[in-house]
Amino acid sequence: MVHERKIRVWMLENGLRVQDVADRAGVDQSYVSHFLKGRKKAPRIREWLLRQGCPAKYLGEAKKEAA
């Protein structure tokens, strides 16, 4: 399960907006929002956030994107 509130607090503490994550992960802003709400599986976003230092426990389990 993705913990939206914890991720958003982490983002705020690290000076990141949803648009920043989208730009740097190479996806649309709405895709990031859907990921944060748990509506979309997004390994690219999850991996980018992990590389930036976001705690894995906030991001839920790694899942593959549907083809």
What are the pLDDT digits (tens) for 3-39?
999 999 999 999 999 999 999 999 999 999 999 999 9
Identify whether the C-beta of residue 7 lies closer than 8 Å to the C-beta of residue 54: yes
Q: pTM of the entire structure?
A: 0.85
pLDDT 10s digits, 42-59: 999 999 999 999 999 999
Say yes or no to pLDDT of 67 above 50: no
What's the angle, vertex CA 64, arms to CA 37 and CA 38, rounded to 5? 10
65 pLDDT more than 60: no
Question: Is 40's pLDDT higher than 50?
Answer: yes
